[in-house]
Amino acid sequence: MSAPDRRLAALADLPLVAGAVFIVVLLLQTFWARVGYPFDLEWMEGGMLVHAQRVMDGEPLYVEPSSEFIPFIYPPLYHWVLGWSAKLLGLSYGLGRTIALVGTLLAAAGAAAAVGGEKRGWLLGLGAGALYLTGYDESGSFYDVVRADGMLMALLAWSLVAARHGWVRAAGILLTLAYLSKHTAALFGLPVLWWLWRYRDRQTALRFAGWSMVPALAATAAIQLSGDQLFLTYLVAVPGGHPFVLQRFFPQTPLDLLNFLLPLNVFALGVLGFWWIRERQWEPGAVFWAANGGLAILLSMVMRGHHGGYVNVLMPGLWAVSVWGALAVGWARQRWPHLATVGLTSVLVATQLWLGRWEPQAWIPSPDAVLAGERLVEEVAKIEGEVFVPHAPWILVQAGKAPTVHLIALWDIDHKSGPLWEHVADIQADMDAQRWSAVLLAGSKADDDYRIKTNYRRARSLPTGALRPVTGWRARPRYVFEPKAR
């Protein structure tokens, strides 16, 4: 297009820009209403704070399981960043959520750079980033909770953008950091390495391999040699003993990703069909994003199928689908370079953004939840001696007590085929010894897998109904169990 045409095209993209601004404002509005909430939005948030507290205290993460602590089956980067930041700013839910939100916004910027870098227009790139942000609902609002997902997506997105443009040193280092956020990110090194070898040259591919594999292996070795030398056990062997839910792998996850941007996905599939009939020639950029986007979707499928995999694992797939949809629009604009094409596709993206909006109130705890949490902390603080709170161990820290193991970490090792299953008996032995003055559970009937019902009786309940998390498993500690007389 000529210069005047580009100005007219920018005007035609105003619906897209308005939709993108709307989504960003909606995200910030939702975040602002949640960031200061002093209890779990998602039931693992408090466990992540316990990990960060250990980093602050100089304690190792990957230690033998005990009633005090079992690490989550994730690499340590998010715990490190949160713990180190907390030394300056103080450890809080708000800090952990802010780190996650910054990661999410950087991932959206990475989507914009991916599309803009293919000469599809920076306004369309802005649309790609906003499309990714509309996955807030689909991710279970994990875009801004105290979890590693936001950081992972930022590092992974910019690693791919860097690799696409041949910035192999940055790509390799960023991919290593993504691996240290969630280890499945390491697999993206394979299509990137192949693409660099095929479309750049062997020397560039080998440089990328050096800048990604060497620091990743060095970091893995250093972490493995620290603590009880169980890093790889928790990272690989423990989840290797978990069952797999085939129906969530397929067809549920592909259908979820198709429905995520349904009108735009239908358009993208139509463009792909037309391209295949008329062109049948893959540009290097198309190959790159097809290969890495396909892997992102496959990993989302695998992680969703993993036992306990929640919808937050869809985030790589949500990012890939957003980039693909915007690139399809860009290809259509290139193929039919008319102002009408720009206007119609701008309306299409804007419509998709509008359909992708969410209701913030659905993800914001009620004011009663804060009061319920404060009453719970006061009740726990009144109990003399140690208390076992597996559903929300950070409540213990808020009550001035030492935290106990998080239940999901205990569940992770509680598989007979797993390498650390025998340590479950240590927790059972502590129950037999009635080590705790009280056990605070989410269910009124104590599960006897850990010999709670054998050694403790339900004594009373606490009015904590409003404290229920807004995403993930909605468990909240409520029932007080006390030792049985002997």
- Kindly give the confidence (pLDDT) of every residue in the chain, 486 residues in length, as a single tens digit, with 9 standing for 90 and above: 443 478 888 899 999 999 999 999 999 999 999 999 999 999 999 999 999 999 999 999 999 999 999 999 999 999 999 999 999 999 999 999 999 999 999 999 999 999 999 988 899 999 999 999 999 999 999 999 999 999 999 999 999 999 999 999 999 999 999 999 999 999 999 999 999 999 999 999 999 999 999 999 999 999 999 889 999 999 999 999 999 999 999 999 999 999 999 999 999 989 888 877 776 678 899 999 999 999 999 999 999 999 989 999 999 999 999 999 999 999 999 889 999 999 999 999 999 999 999 999 999 999 999 999 999 999 999 999 999 999 999 999 999 999 999 999 999 999 999 999 999 999 999 999 999 999 999 987 666 889 999 999 999 999 888 899 999 999 999 999 999 998
Q: Which amino acid is at 407?
A: L
Task: Convert 341-360 into a string of H (helix), E (strand) and C (coil).
Answer: HHHHHHHHHHHHHHHCCCCH
Q: How far is CA 246 from CA 11, 252, 273, 302, 313, in A?
A: 47, 9, 29, 9, 15
Encoded tokens for 4: 């005047």
Q: Where are the domains of the chain?
A: 3-38+92-362, 367-483
Encoded tokens for 32: 């602002």
- Smallest Cα–Cα separation from 72: which of 407, 320, 441, 319? 407
List phi, psi (to 5°) of 226.
Answer: -90, 165
Burial status of residue 460 (CB atoms within 10 A of its CB: 0-12, 13-18, 19 or more): exposed
DSSP-based three-state secondary structure for 141: coil
Report the distance separating Cα 158 and Cα 178, nearest Å.
10
Report the distance separating Cα 108 and Cα 89, nearest Å.
26
Q: What is the pLDDT of residue 423?
A: 97
List of residues 6+ apart from 110 with CB closer than 8 A: 129, 153, 154, 157, 158, 160, 161, 319
Task: Convert 401-470 into a string of H (helix), E (strand) and C (coil).
Answer: CCCCCCHHHHHHHCCCCCCCHHHHHHHHHHHHCCCCCEEEECCCCCCHHHCHHHHEEEEEECCCHHHCCC
Q: Tell me: the pLDDT tens digits for 85-110?
A: 999 999 999 999 999 999 999 999 99
Q: Report the run of H or E that residue 387 belongs to, with start and end.
A: strand 387-388
Q: Tell which phi-psi region holds residue 473, choosing left (phi > 0), alpha (psi between -120 and 50) or beta.
A: beta
Using DSSP, how many helices (H) and how many strands (E) does the chain show?
23, 4
What is the pTM for the complete model shown? Answer: 0.97
Question: Do 445 and 17 form a contact (C-beta atoms < 8 A)?
Answer: no
Q: What is the pLDDT of residue 12?
A: 94
DSSP-based three-state secondary structure for 320: helix
Q: What is the pLDDT of residue 281?
A: 73
Report the distance separating Cα 149 and Cα 472, nearest Å.
14
Encoded tokens for 94: 């708000």
List of residues 6+ apart from 129 with CB closer than 8 A: 20, 108, 109, 110, 111, 112, 322
Question: Do 228 and 63 form a contact (C-beta atoms < 8 A)?
Answer: yes
Report the distance separating Cα 314 and Cα 178, nearest Å.
16
Q: How far is CA 464 from CA 49, 55, 374, in A?
A: 21, 30, 10
Q: What is the pLDDT of residue 447?
A: 67
Q: What is the pLDDT of residue 446?
A: 64
- Smallest Cα–Cα separation from 120: which of 325, 367, 399? 325
Report the distance separating Cα 398 and Cα 214, nearest Å.
41
Place of tokens 């920076």: 122
